Structure 1
């Protein structure tokens, strides 16, 4: 190439690059309303965004991949936890996590009921933004880290208990691949929306947003036989199914699991899952003796 050809090449390639950038920019802005569901930005959502900024939530949390990676990512938090849980949590975080045990404790923000409702509305709007799969995975913080790993204490215990080290949860039997209902239920446990393992551990004594499922089958038998139980289940399998589709039929003891007679567990599984999928989940959970 001579100097003239080099100059023409540089000018042409720069012009093409600028044109491509302009086209992509225009196309991105064209898609913004659909990607962000801008029609759902209500006054409550706007007020909630103001609360988010006023309380500097991003100093600890991430949202859409932005923020400080000290506390859990909140991009999909309303789908993982639900409004009742988040309302109770924001009113008094100390009822849910202990600083000595979990090492990290969200400070009391002294939010009004309106502040809380608006903040949840904002986070719910964010959860429905088409973020093109970003961040690539939820960032879960449930306790202090295990030295030499990037896992929290609860996550490490859960991995060990659920078979990451070749061991099974106490009382659970080995599962086969293919059409084995327990294996299919185990797959659903970490793939349904919201995922069961976002709130429940399978390790003994590791309680997250929901109680541990270790020993669930044995506990279910005791619960059904107790006078405090007012549900309709007669067997362990019926009790587990009832807990999935009607979580408020029996309220597990503990202020962090329910409030005002309503369980914090989402009530959507009965509508979102087929009877066959629920049966698979029941089979898997009933294997925890």
Structure 2
């Protein structure tokens, strides 16, 4: 091309690119009310946003991909934790995590009950914004350096080899009629996601206690005079814990408040009896 043709090409390309950018921008603004559920922005949501900004939460936390990375991403926090847990946490974070043990310290902002309620309303609105799947995985409120934390079910049960990715004498755990395999899939996909609050690695307590050795721990609980539930067997205890989380409260202030467990009570309604059976089979396999 000669200089004149080159100039025309550059101008035309710039004009076309600018037009496309303008169209996409207008289209994005057209969709914002739907994508952000603008009709769900209540007075409480607005007040909660003010609490978020006033206390500089974004200096440590991230929402919708914006903010700092010192503390967990909170985009979906209300779906992963629930209002009872968040309320207790915001009232006294030191009950849950401390600087000496977890090498982090969530400051107590001394929020009023109304401010906490409004902040949770704001975060709940944020969690329902159509953000194309961000964040890509449930947050973990603590990490683990324990070998095998990220192993599969079979590896965790049988002492797997992280190099080969296979446990000794491994059997397939993806068969459609294998209740343990189906239970593992539910553990990682049910809503709310069980894996967002519970680890299956020994010693790794997240928002909920670790479920490693849950079968043997259940036997000890059933034999304890402190247990007042109705379960008689390990399987019944696990089922009761899923269906009626407050029937037995795991020791520790970070798991319950005022006699009520922070664990959601919706699994009995949202999962079928068969799915509950599969979850029980999976969890009971951790001896």
1:281 is matched with which residue? Answer: 279
Write the mapping of 1:16-31 to structure 2, written as runs, cut at 5 A. 16-31=16-31
2:180 is matched with which residue? Answer: 182
Cα RMSD of the aligned pairs, angstroms, is 2.2
1:35 is matched with which residue? Answer: 35
The answer to whether structure 1 residue 163 and structure 2 residue 163 are counterparts is: no
Deviation at 1:166, TM superposition (A): 8.0
SS at match of 1:70: coil
Deviation at 1:138, TM superposition (A): 4.2
TM-score, normalisation: structure 2: 0.89
Deviation at 1:14, TM superposition (A): 1.7
**Given that residues 163 and 169 in structure 1 are in contact (C-alpha distance below 8 angstroms), is that contact kept between their aligned partners in structure 2?**
no
1:148 is matched with which residue? Answer: none
CA shift in 2, pair 1:53/1:99, >3 Å: same
**Given that residues 48 and 120 in structure 1 are in contact (C-alpha distance below 8 angstroms), is that contact kept between their aligned partners in structure 2?**
yes
Count of residue pairs the alignment pairs up:
277
Deviation track 1:202-253 (CA, whole Å, cap 9, x = no partner) reads 2222222111111111221222333332322222112111211221122111
SS at match of 1:211: coil
1:245 is matched with which residue? Answer: 243
Deviation at 1:139, TM superposition (A): 4.5
Deviation at 1:165, TM superposition (A): 11
Match of 2:197 among 190, 196, 199: 199
Deviation track 1:16-59 (CA, whole Å, cap 9, x = no partner) reads 11211111111111111111011111111101000100111011
**Given that residues 161 and 169 in structure 1 are in contact (C-alpha distance below 8 angstroms), is that contact kept between their aligned partners in structure 2?**
no
2:216 is matched with which residue? Answer: 218
Structure 2: segments with no counterpart, 5+ residues: 161-166
Deviation track 1:175-200 (CA, whole Å, cap 9, x = no partner) reads 63313111121222222222212211
**Given that residues 200 and 211 in structure 1 are in contact (C-alpha distance below 8 angstroms), is that contact kept between their aligned partners in structure 2?**
yes
Query: How many Å separate the matches in 2 of 1:188 and 1:237?
Result: 17
Write the mapping of 1:1-289 to structure 2, written as runs, cut at 5 A. 1-142=1-142, 152=143, 154=144, 156-157=145-146, 160-161=148-149, 163=151, 167-169=155-157, 176-179=173-176, 180-289=178-287
**Given that residues 93 and 106 in structure 2 are in contact (C-alpha distance below 8 angstroms), is that contact kept between their aligned partners in structure 1?**
yes
Deviation at 1:171, TM superposition (A): 9.7
Deviation at 1:141, TM superposition (A): 4.4
**Given that residues 72 and 141 in structure 1 are in contact (C-alpha distance below 8 angstroms), is that contact kept between their aligned partners in structure 2?**
yes
TM-score, normalisation: structure 1: 0.89
CA shift in 2, pair 1:265/1:170, >3 Å: farther
Which structure 1 residue ranges, 4+ long, deviate > 6 Å from structure 2? 170-173
